[in-house]
């Protein structure tokens, strides 16, 4: 030992690593435990986000549930013929979308003009639609199908009656329209619809700059018993007094119930699982300290301060927490990426790595682990060393 | 050097309060080798830990060189232990994950010369060849010698030894006692708790405890328990 050189010995980090290396299995188990909590939480939160997105998409795909009509619309006639006998200026759409906070209540606004026209040997419902307008902040994808000027989408029955197929030319009151497609059979009035752009429909009907309906989806997501219609009407009255709104109550109610159910489920499960995860992390950290109580007694017997002992245990807890968070995030994320697309098939491509969860895992896991280790370590360190030594 | 006055320690238990120490008075002079003997549960270890500022008594006081130890803060007592006392335990209480050298240097972290001091002590205790070994790689006798070396690292005035020979064969037990005797000879003070006659044969004075009370004091080497 004559060759032993004077060098700093027993530095804090060195002590932590030596202890962990000596108790490899215990450190590994603790690390795996922490990583398991984080991975489960990451996978759960990622899939929760996916489920929320999927639910929104499914409920959105139920279709528009609000119809904003000219105020003077004869509702008897409306329900008989399926469109308003009145028109209103197209500029009202712009007025509505520029109204502050409108997208908190109404979204996916789609202006249209519907008129009954003679076509071939019978009649058809001409539906001119404008592109949907959504909130610029929320970056929502537009609903419905896109229409090119000069093209037409034919309802199934109409296509059958006129004997047209995609690529054929259709003459409508002097306007030539190329048939983009004949739609599948929906089994409703859409089978006799002739879809064109709003501008083409306005040209055909001679109602330039006019619309007779704005479709929308309500964002309140209130069930029928919560009376969403009165709220929607009061909102519209303030923003667009020239119009009135009707709600497809059955559809809106189903949509609201579905979303409320999902939200309630997660609002119950998420905090519960987060608390369970936090307790799990805390238990691992506390068990580690308990096992080393006699060691705390030795440190104290040798005259080391409570602060030094706490640092030793906190250091290990922080280190394991940090590494556990990294490992857990990686595993949990992979799990969500692997399982998510199987469950959430509509929005499968939207399941992506949620980097914010890595940040929170790196903050909370070491913090919880350190807090849980700190309390028993400080209790043991503040006792007379004899008590800790006697436990060995 | 060390005075215990009216020292009592009571523990609560399911059967009521246990008197581990009962109004004990004791004085230990500098340079003395004192052995404490008694049956299990007589209060030997409690007395040792209380004298070593590791266990607050229920009543009474412990005065070391004029300073009442339990009037000091926990931090002050820790600092006092680090500077003035060396502990040797029956179970060795070495840090299992630190090498022999690191265990010794626990006392002198970042202090210049601590490695040289450890070097000298390990040489004296014939542990040179074990310097980088972990405690579990050592024999019981070697572990106890490492614990002895650790106790002496800070050049303390007092060594408190709690049955240091309890887990050793007679040869190693004698070896440990001889090292304690040498420490005494170099001016240190030793208080030793023991069950056996061998260890107490090295003491200048032996006290016998029973139910937390001082039963008898024997000057010189006590050979038999009363």
Q: Give the best-scoring range by mean pLDDT among A287-301, B7-21, B40-54.
A: B40-54
A chain contacts of residue B123, beta-carbon cutoff 8 Å: 1
CB contact under 8 A, A304 and B82: yes
| B210 touches A: beta carbon within 8 Å | no
Cα B85 to Cα B71: distance, rounded to the nearest angstrom: 18
Residue B222 vs residue A292, higher pLDDT: A292
- Number of structural domains (chain B) is 1
Judge residue B146's burial from the number of C-beta atoms within 10 Å of its C-beta, 0-12 exposed, 13-18 middle, 19 or more buried. buried
CB contact under 8 A, A306 and B79: no
CB contact under 8 A, B119 and A1: yes
| Per-residue confidence (pLDDT) for residue A8, from 0 to 100 | 56
pTM: 0.65
Locate A127 and state its tokens: 């539906």
Is position B1 within any domain?
no
For A126-156, give one letter per residue: b (16+ CB within 10 A) or e: bbbbbebbbbeeeebeebeeebeeebbbbbb
CB contact under 8 A, A22 and B96: yes
Mutate to test the interface with A, among B20, B79, B93 (most CBs of A within 10 A): B93
Per residue of chain A (392 residues), what is the pLDDT tens digit? 444 445 556 678 888 999 889 888 888 888 888 898 899 889 888 888 887 777 777 766 666 778 899 999 999 999 999 899 999 999 988 888 887 776 777 778 889 999 999 988 899 999 999 988 877 665 555 556 678 999 999 999 999 999 999 999 999 988 999 999 999 998 988 899 999 999 999 999 999 999 999 988 776 666 666 677 777 778 878 888 888 888 877 777 777 777 777 778 777 877 887 787 778 777 877 777 777 878 888 888 888 888 888 888 889 889 989 999 999 999 999 988 888 877 777 677 777 888 999 999 999 889 888 888 888 788 777 778 888 777 65
Locate A348 and state its tokens: 């499968």
Residue B96 in this model has a pLDDT that exceeds 50: yes
Q: Which of B207, B204, B162, B157 is nearest to B183 (CA)?
A: B157
Residue of B nearest to A307 (CA): B75
Q: Cα-Cα-Cα-Cα dihedral of B72, B73, B79, B83, to 10°?
A: 10
| Per-residue confidence (pLDDT) for residue A379, from 0 to 100 | 79
Residue with tokens 């040289």: B116
| Per-residue confidence (pLDDT) for residue A128, from 0 to 100 | 95
| B157 touches A: beta carbon within 8 Å | no
Residue of B nearest to A300 (CA): B78
| Per-residue confidence (pLDDT) for residue A1, from 0 to 100 | 40
CB contact under 8 A, A304 and B78: yes
Is position B4 within any domain?
no
| Per-residue confidence (pLDDT) for residue A140, from 0 to 100 | 56
| A12 touches B: beta carbon within 8 Å | no
Give residue limits of the domains in chain A.
Answer: 2-58+258-391, 66-247
Cα A327 to Cα A37: distance, rounded to the nearest angstrom: 10
Kindly report which listed range (A227-236, B31-40, B94-103, B123-132) carries the lowest average pLDDT score. Answer: A227-236
| Per-residue confidence (pLDDT) for residue A10, from 0 to 100 | 62
Mean pLDDT over residues B200-221, rounded? 88
A355-382 and A293-301 helices cross at what angle (nearest 10)?
60
Residue B43 vs residue A340, higher pLDDT: B43
- Percentage of chain B modeled with pLDDT above 90: 53
Q: Which of A202, A195, A196, A194 is nearest to A90 (CA)?
A: A202
User: Residue A232 to residues A216, A226, A373, B155: CA-CA distances in angstroms?
Assistant: 11, 12, 53, 86
Nearest CB neighbour to B79, from listed A10, A303, A387 = A303
B chain contacts of residue A304, beta-carbon cutoff 8 Å: 78, 82, 106
Residue with tokens 């491509």: A349
Is position B161 within any domain?
yes
Tell me the nearest-neighbour CA distance from A302 into chain B, angstroms.
Answer: 5
User: Residue B134 to residues A249, B95, B98, B115: CA-CA distances in angstroms?
Assistant: 77, 9, 6, 17
Is position B45 within any domain?
yes
Locate A308 and state its tokens: 């030094």
A vs B, Cβ pairs < 8 A, gives 91
CATH code, domain with B190: 3.40.50.300
Residue of B nearest to A294 (CA): B93
Nearest CB neighbour to B131, from listed A4, A15, A297 = A4
Q: Which of A48, A126, A134 is nearest to A332 (CA)?
A: A48
| A24 touches B: beta carbon within 8 Å | no
Is position B14 within any domain?
no
| B198 touches A: beta carbon within 8 Å | no
Is position B65 within any domain?
no
Q: Which of B218, B222, B225, B226 is nearest to B199 (CA)?
A: B222
Nearest CB neighbour to B110, from listed A8, A300, A386 = A8
Nearest CB neighbour to A303, from listed B82, B95, B123 = B82
| A23 touches B: beta carbon within 8 Å | yes
Domain that holds residue B193: 30-57+80-219
| A56 touches B: beta carbon within 8 Å | no
Nearest CB neighbour to A384, from listed B55, B82, B87 = B55
| Per-residue confidence (pLDDT) for residue A200, from 0 to 100 | 95
| Per-residue confidence (pLDDT) for residue A204, from 0 to 100 | 93
| Per-residue confidence (pLDDT) for residue A139, from 0 to 100 | 56
| Residue A83 and residue A125 in contact, taking contact as beta carbons nearer than 8 Å | yes
If you ran DSSP here, which 8-state letter would residue A133 be given? B
Locate B45 and state its tokens: 């270890």
| A3 touches B: beta carbon within 8 Å | no
CB contact under 8 A, A384 and B115: no
Tell me the nearest-neighbour CA distance from A319 into chain B, angstroms.
Answer: 18
A chain contacts of residue B52, beta-carbon cutoff 8 Å: 301
Mean pLDDT over residues B188-211, rounded? 90
B chain contacts of residue A22, beta-carbon cutoff 8 Å: 96-97, 134
Residues in chain A: 392
Residue of B nearest to A3 (CA): B119
Residue B163 in this model has a pLDDT that exceeds 70: yes
């Amino acid at each position: 030992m004559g060759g032993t050189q004077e060098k700093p010995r027993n530095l804090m980090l060195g002590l932590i690593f030596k202890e962990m290396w000596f108790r490899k299995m215990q450190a590994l188990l603790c690390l795996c435990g922490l990583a398991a909590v984080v991975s489960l939480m990451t996978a759960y939160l990622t899939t929760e986000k996916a489920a929320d997105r999927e639910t929104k998409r499914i409920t959105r795909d139920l279709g528009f549930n609000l119809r904003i009509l000219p105020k003077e619309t004869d509702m008897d006639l409306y329900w008989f013929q399926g469109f308003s006998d009145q028109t209103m200026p197209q500029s009202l759409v712009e007025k509505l979308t520029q109204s502050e906070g409108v997208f908190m209540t109404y979204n996916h606004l789609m202006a249209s003009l519907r008129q009954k026209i003679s076509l071939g040997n019978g009649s058809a419902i001409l539906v001119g639609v404008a592109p949907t307008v959504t909130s610029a902040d929320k970056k929502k994808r537009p609903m419905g199908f896109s229409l090119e000027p000069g093209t037409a989408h034919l309802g199934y029955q109409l296509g059958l009656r006129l004997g047209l197929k995609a690529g054929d030319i259709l003459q409508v009151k002097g306007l030539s329209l190329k048939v983009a497609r004949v739609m599948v059979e929906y089994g409703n009035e859409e089978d006799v619809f002739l879809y064109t752009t709003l501008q083409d429909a306005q040209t055909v009907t001679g109602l330039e700059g006019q619309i007779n309906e704005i479709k929308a989806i309500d964002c309140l997501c209130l069930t029928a018993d919560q009376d969403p219609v009165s709220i929607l009407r009061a909102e519209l009255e303030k923003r667009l007094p020239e119009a009135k709104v009707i709600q497809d109550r059955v559809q809106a109610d189903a949509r609201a119930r579905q979303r409320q159910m999902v939200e309630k489920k997660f609002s119950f499960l998420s905090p519960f699982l987060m608390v369970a995860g936090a307790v799990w992390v805390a238990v691992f950290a506390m068990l580690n300290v308990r096992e080393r109580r006699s060691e705390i007694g030795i440190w104290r017997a040798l005259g080391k301060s409570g602060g030094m002992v706490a640092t030793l245990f906190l250091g290990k807890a922080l280190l394991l927490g940090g590494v556990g968070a990294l490992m857990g995030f990686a595993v949990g994320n992979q799990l969500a990426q692997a399982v998510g697309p199987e469950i959430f098939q509509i929005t499968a491509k939207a399941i992506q790595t949620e980097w914010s969860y890595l940040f929170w895992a790196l903050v909370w896991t070491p913090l919880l682990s350190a807090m849980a280790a700190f309390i028993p370590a400080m209790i043991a360190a503040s006792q007379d060393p004899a008590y800790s030594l006697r436990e060995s | 050097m060390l005075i215990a006055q009216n020292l009592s320690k009571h523990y609560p238990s399911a059967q009521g309060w246990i008197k581990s120490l009962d109004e004990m008075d004791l004085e230990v002079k500098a340079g003395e080798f004192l052995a404490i003997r008694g049956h299990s549960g007589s209060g030997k270890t409690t007395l040792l830990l209380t004298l070593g500022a590791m266990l607050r008594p229920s009543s009474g006081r412990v005065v070391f060189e004029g300073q009442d130890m339990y009037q000091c803060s926990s931090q002050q007592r820790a600092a006092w232990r680090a500077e003035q006392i060396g502990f040797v335990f029956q179970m060795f209480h070495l840090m299992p994950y630190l090498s022999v050298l690191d265990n010794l240097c626990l006392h002198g972290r970042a202090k210049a010369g601590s490695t040289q001091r450890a070097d000298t002590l390990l040489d004296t205790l014939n542990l040179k060849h074990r310097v980088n070994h972990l405690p579990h790689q050592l024999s019981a006798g070697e572990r106890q010698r490492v614990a002895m070396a650790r106790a002496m690292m800070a050049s303390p005035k007092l060594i408190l030894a709690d049955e240091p020979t309890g887990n050793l064969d007679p040869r190693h037990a004698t070896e440990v006692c001889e090292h304690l005797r040498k420490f005494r000879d170099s001016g240190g003070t030793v208080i030793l708790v023991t069950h056996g006659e061998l260890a107490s044969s090295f003491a200048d004075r032996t006290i016998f405890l029973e139910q937390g009370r001082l039963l008898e004091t024997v000057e010189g080497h006590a050979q038999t328990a009363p």
